[in-house]
Structure 1
Amino acid sequence: GVSVQTETVLRQALAERVQLTLIINKIDRCILEQQLEPEELYQKLSSIVARCNALIATYRNIDDGIYSDDHFNPKIGNVAIASGKHGWAFTLPQFATIIAEKTKVLKEKLIDRLWGESFYSSVNRKWFPYDQINSYDDAKRGFNQFILQPIYQMLNACSNLNIDEIRTLLDKVDVRLSADKLDTNSHDAKTIMSNVMKRWLPAGEAMLHLIVLHLPSPIQAQTYRIQHLYEGPQDDQAACAMKTCDPNSEVMIYISKKIPAQDGSRFVCFGRIFSGTITTGSNVRILGPNYQPGSPNDVQVRNVTSVGVMVGDRCIPMASVPAGNVVALNGIDKCLLKTATVTTFDNAHNFRVMKFSVSPVVRVAVDVRDPTDYAKLADGLKKLAQADSLVQVLNENKQHVIAAAGELHLEICLAELEKVHARCPLKVATPIVTYRETVTCGSYQTAFTKTTNKHNKFFMRASPLQPELVEAIESGRITAKQDPKERSAILVNEFGWDPISTKKIWCFGPEHDGPNILVDSTKGVDGLINIQDAVIAGFQWASEEGVLAQETLRGVRIDLLDAEI
């Protein structure tokens, strides 16, 4: 169903103006494990679609014109129902096409009847609305009769290893499957189920329908998304080239992740080309997160040794790849930690750093089963941290700890660590959930401290930040690198800050981009510049490890009220 994490991801997509399609996964579990009746399953699916539409209606920007209140609609085909584990999926128009070929009924008429309050009587061979349902003893909802019933029959036949029934059902849907795929001596029920369903309703075909028919091309999307992705002026050369997805301009690429090569010795840098055409042998500038145009700091020039496109887990070499495509680059992986801007423009700004709407809150300690594999684990953890932008790898109390966004994310990370990165058996401790420390009201008295030599005194006060402001910081709308005038205008107009305070923000924390703020509220104190770095370092430490339980702070404003230096 729609979880808190689903809502969070939807909100982030809406904020970044990402066009959306919906895939409802794990449908096989509803049928085989939960044993839902077809009508119960339909109601569950309908509820999920309605809930997602309600979230869009709640959080969308009406002025965007990208989303409607009923954005997700199975009838138009932007909703897929799937079993990712077994590799099958379908959309309503796909099924309508199959049925139309069999029944010689117009596909358009069928689509309208295969979702919603349309019912069918097999005895009378008649369609009718819900208010006439009591007139027909064999009345079944169209979706249940023509879509769910065949799927239920096929899954049950596979679960029971009834090969004769499977062949009969496959003949009815004109699907041919080789005998070795149904061999019960070499395959268990789950494998046979996967073989059958992937052949009948391949997930790749449903995904292709969603992408081609319901998602915008890069030429369309970049016209309105660049303003949310690019840190620089919207009228500079790089921005203009990206907005038109110009393949003949200079190159602008955002590397979003690093994928381990098949030999495990290096990484392939994976990203999207927003402008230009990247070729093998190109010299590119790799901009780090702290790069400022015109500065020699945090920028490296490297040669791209090869260019390719990813097909599954394979990289297919290409001579060149133009704007609008995703690309795999070799030869630059050692120049970036996780993400980076790659360009041939001389004065381009960075892409905005990806801000995740979920934080790594589930932690687990990992260790090797064989002590001789310790070096493999250490190396594997480094590779995992580079391959996954969200995961955090920590060393706490002499233990290796992995922090992930949720149980599913953690499960994926552990599987990749064991099978791909470390390649050794692991011991995994019980997962624990991390927390955040905060304050709920302003300090009732001023906090006072002094240095060991008693020559310096500091007076501070803590107060809570508004939840909306915390959200704006975490989403990247307000940042430390932002133009001070722009940041000041937002804080004053939207959050009621005093204009003077907005100009005296020393830093955000932790890591200079967290949802806590240190403000200089002193008046007429001499020598502050001499101790500013030390105070900032102390704030970063305190926001990383709170005083209550050594957990990270969230939503706290610290004001330096006075100092005696």
Structure 2
Amino acid sequence: MVNLTARDVEATMRNQHRVRNVSLVAHVDHGKSTLTDSMLAAAGLMALEDAGKVRATDTRDDEAERGMSIKATAVTLGYDFRAMRTGTATSDRYVVNLVDCPGHVDFSPEVTAALRLTDGALVVVDCVEGVRVQTQTVLRQALGERIKPVLVVNKLDRFFLELEVHVLSNSPCSVLSNSPCSVPSNWLRQTGILLTITYTCVALQLDDGEVAYQALRRVVEDANAVVAMYSDNELGNCHMSPENGTVAFAAGLHGWAFTLSSFAKLHSTDSSWSGVDEAEMRGRFWGENFFDAETNKWTTCRTGSATCERGFVGFCYNPLRNVIKACMNDKTSLWPLLNKFGVEIKAEVKDLSGKQLLRRVMQAWLPAGEVLLDMLVLHLPSSATAQRYRVDNIYDGPLDDPYANAIRNCDADGPLMIYIAKVVPAGDRMGRMYAFGRVFSGKVASGNKVRVISNKYLPGGGGKEDVFVKTVQRTGMLVGKTFQAVDGVPCGNTVALAGLDAVIVKTATLTDERAAVAAGTIKPLKFSVAPILRKSVACRNPADLPKLVKGLERLAKADPLIECSLEETGEHIVAGAGELHLEVCLDGLKRMAGVDILIGAPVVPYRETVVASSSRAVVTKSPNKHNRLYMDARPLEEELLQAIEDGRVGPRDEVTSRAKLLREEFGWDAGDAKKLWCFGPATTGPNLLVNTCKGVYYTGEIRESVVVAFQAASKGGVLAGEPLRGIRFHLCDAVLHSDCIHRGSGQIIPTARRAIHAAQLAASPRLMEPIYLVEIRVPKSAVSEVYNLLKTRRTKVLERQDLGFGTVVLKAFLPVSESSQFVQQLRLETSGRAFPELAFHGWRLINSDPLEDGSKAAMVMGEARERKGLGPVPKFEELGATF
């Protein structure tokens, strides 16, 4: 094994064609971290014997305790492509910037942040569990970021060591040898195969591997179905296939993996392959290709002969099975097999037995680290290649300005453009943090002064308080929890920067201190979940409040999604994606603050909307009685609402192009489309303020005041002080005093806010509640218990799918307000046999009038107003509004 030094890695970074930025993504517990160990071992960063055991990228204590990744962990490693084969250092070096991402849905914002910084995704799928909900989510996110995926079908050791397959008499396997063609792709779902987990090392009893092949093919096809659904034309062909080398098969826990090329090389000396190149050999190892050993001929369907086997089974699966069986049961037959395959093992390995022997033999024969790193180098794009088609997807400025051109060309001599996707605690007693991101153009070095543009900055909106000039104290690479300092990092690489954490909250764009041309920013991240579960926190000792506030500031910086806010009642609120996310973040808050913290009960946020248009415009008068504003409200079109939340329509769009889109795609009036004043709340939310006044003077002068009132009103509606969602407000008319002194902001802002609240009341206001999409895997014998529990929590069951293994998948909508202790109670009711997954799905209307006493919505509204210290809902007269 050839180890590259930090200086070697730093030198290789300068060649962007030899840089690979890769995220490891998967569903929870599908084996990402164990596979990462193997790649670290192949790069010389850990001992091969420890690969799969240490989980080096689980750097936090709570990750080790829970046995799951919580934070994305970056590792920069050097890889000598030829040295793995020759044993001597060569000039064929690559830098691989890996980011091992968590798989639990509550921590998917970590995946979103990692994908922005990388160009390729190593998607890991458990060969038995298959493509799960979170697998689909991360694939969709990756393709949305124009990230090219490759696939690893993991945990193949489960086929050989854990699963016993009993083929029922009516299974297609019993007649497989007489079948003239292959088994259909959905065969495993339709048959009566019973998979029974055992805890003894029993070799898998299959019909010569055919069932194993069908299971693997199903996983590959399911993954490609997701890719086909969300593929991007600019990204090109992302179809993953074993024949092309973009699918690997692995057992991360035992440190071995292979692609079809591995066995193509193994069998290349066979006389039956004379004159056949490696690509053609790979093609015959997958799909409808069968080899008859007796006639030494290939066919595209079964001949019915006992010696006719599928290519994958005969040339890949059977050699694996024979070696594993020999390791576990009969060592005497193992050594001839290893000699046949050209595998050399150390003398001390021969004294081992069982799984220990299996592990060392398979690592020597099919080392996972080499196979996976080879696949990343050969089949994922370099930085220089990827940035050409990613620039318009990530850059928010003009696509012909110097910054866009430098990103497109991955120009190390161009203007500096860095995106910081997250802030990482340094792990020292001083509480320092590193800004972790990607250099898209230019080069950053220690001592450079950079302009830090925060994620709150809006182009053209002033916002000088959101732009800072700071000095980079140190530049470096992250290797797990270790910061490795380097002189400088050129474009195309990930980077860790010290000295900027004081002004960066979550994300930021860094540019040159003195740029000749105003720089655009990197587009904000789009998360697949939302911070919809909240808890209040307080100090047990009031004197510790400053420490709590400092801890909340650090927590808000360190987590991409978490929101920390101070309510008008004085409560400190922490909002997260789910119960597990909040639990982890609050545990971290206790450590960061170093004080005893009291945690309140979960608080569920709601949204306010309207379901009808105002019958007439409402009018409110200014305090001096010299100005009148006329407002009406109506529901926003569902398609437009979705487009705003997806980022297709927003305040950063060019006015003319946005007006054209609103007119042509959403049927807006041409005049209204041009007079869209703002989005809200926070200038980006899914509510619109439109000026539809005609022939009214001075509206341009009051615009800023009306917008300020709209932002405040949309942040807290009239019903329960909750944010508005999906409402379009029109400023229909205005009567304004001719003297600007009498129509200043002090007169217009409160008037406009009362008008907006009154218009909301006049348009059939309603409340919306957040809902989870729940997927529950449960044995058929426990389905009734699951249904009984769902009935008690206002749940709507959407789908029931029978997998054919005695297992059922239920999908349902679960209100977030009903989700407290749901997972624990479900496991209790089913004796641990049900496995639920909860993911935020969206907002659902509460079908009752909140202004009607005794209704469900009225009770929700009353609880929210009482919690916030609000009085009764104001009436029209109290708002000073009339029709």
CA contact under 8 A between 2:536 and 2:601: conserved in structure 1? no
1:274 aligns with 2:440: yes
**Which range moves more in the overlay, 209-218 or 355-364?**
355-364
Equivalent residues of 1:232, 1:348 under 8 A apart: no
Q: Of the candidates 393, 396, 401, which is equivalent to residue 228 of structure 1?
A: 393
- CA deviation after TM superposition for structure 1 residue 163, in Å: 9.3
Asked if 1:258 is matched to 2:423, the reply is yes
Distance 1:163 1:28, change over 3 A: closer
In structure 2, what is the equivalent of residue 462 of structure 1? 634
Structure 1 length normalisation: TM-score? Answer: 0.76
Deviations 1:389-441 (A, max 9, x none): 2344567895854423x78x8499559948986799999999999777666x6
Q: Provide the rounded CA distance (Å) in 1 between the counterparts of 2:605 and 2:523.
A: 24
Q: Which residue of 1 aligns with 2:109?
A: none
Is the counterpart of residue 111 in structure 1 residue 282 in structure 2?
Answer: yes
The alpha-carbon deviation at position 15 of structure 1 amounts to 4.5
With over 3 angstroms needed to count, the CA separation of the structure-2 counterparts of 1:368 and 1:519, relative to structure 1, is: closer
Determine the structure 2 residue equivalent to 1:503. 674
The Cα of 1:134 is off from its aligned counterpart by: 2.9
What is the Cα deviation at residue 150 of structure 1? 6.5
Tell me what 2:836 maps to.
none
Write out aligned runs for 1:147-546 (5 A): 147-148=316-317, 168=334, 172=338, 174=343, 176=345, 204-263=369-428, 265-289=431-455, 290=457, 292=459, 297=464, 298-344=466-512, 345-360=515-530, 363=533, 382-393=553-564, 401-404=574-577, 410=581, 417=588, 442-443=612-613, 445-446=615-616, 448=618, 450=620, 458-467=630-639, 469-524=640-695, 536=707, 539-540=710-711, 543=714
Q: Deviations over 1:93-148 (max 9, x none)?
A: 45325633786866434422332123456x74856446225322x65544345545
Against the structure 1 CA distance between its residues 149 and 131, is the aligned structure 2 distance closer, same or farther, given a 3 Å change threshold?
A: closer
**Structure 1: which amino acid aligns with 2:405?**
C
Partner-residue secondary structure (3-state), 2:492: coil
CA separation of 1:365 and 1:2: change in aligned 2, threshold 3 A: farther
Partners of 2:427 and 2:370 in 1: CA distance: 26
Q: Structure 2: how far apart are the matches of 1:144 and 1:241?
A: 49
Counterpart of 1:509 in structure 2: which amino acid? G
1:135 matched to 2:302? The reply is no
Q: 1:205 and 1:423 mapped to 2: Cα distance? A: 44
> More deviation in 201-210 or 472-481?
201-210
Structure 2 CA distance for partners of 1:320 and 1:557, relative to 1, 3 Å: same
Q: 1:154 to 1:415 in 2, by over 3 A?
A: farther
Aligned mate of 1:95, from 256, 262, 267: 262
Aligned to 2:21: none
Q: State which drifts further: 275-284 or 482-491.
A: 482-491
Inter-CA distance 52–552: structure 2 relative to 1 (3 Å threshold): farther
CA separation of 1:60 and 1:377: change in aligned 2, threshold 3 A: same
CA–CA distance in structure 1, aligned partners of residues 620 and 401 of structure 2: 49
Matched, 1:17 2:183: no
Residues 497-556 of structure 1, C-alpha deviations (whole Å, 9 max, x = no match): 222222222222333223332323334456656775665456546655677887765544
Match of 2:826 in 1: none
Give the C-alpha shift of residue 318 in structure 1.
0.9
Following superposition, the deviation at residue 337 of structure 1 comes to: 0.7
> Which one is further off, 108-117 or 303-312?
108-117
Q: TM-score, normalised by structure 2?
A: 0.52
Query: Cα RMSD between the aligned structures?
Result: 5.1
Q: 1:100 to 1:9 in 2, by over 3 A?
A: same
SS in 1 for 2:149: coil
Bigger Rg, structure 1 or 2: 2
Which SS does the other structure have where 1:208 is aligned? helix
Please state whether the residue corresponding to 2:267 is helix, strand or coil: helix
The change in CA–CA distance for 1:449 and 1:282 in structure 2 (over 3 A counts) is same
Per-residue deviation at 1:262? Answer: 3.1
Cα gap change, 1:433/1:296 in structure 2, threshold over 3 Å: closer, same or farther? Answer: closer
In structure 1, stretches of 5+ residues that fail to align are none
Identity of aligned residues (%): 35
Partner secondary structure for residue 21 of structure 1: strand
Quote the Cα distance in structure 1 between the aligned partners of 2:643 and 2:482.
Answer: 38
Distance 1:256 1:434, change over 3 A: same
- Structure 1 Cα separation of the partners of residues 661 and 520 of structure 2: 22
Of the two structures, which has the highest relative contact order with CA contacts closer than 8 Å and spacing of 6 or more?
Answer: 2
SS in 1 for 2:376: helix
Worse-superposed segment, 224-233 or 536-545:
536-545
Task: Report the equivalent of 2:29.
Answer: none
Give, in whole Å, the separation in 1 of the partners of 2:131 and 2:518: 40
Q: 1:82 to 1:383 in 2, by over 3 A?
A: farther
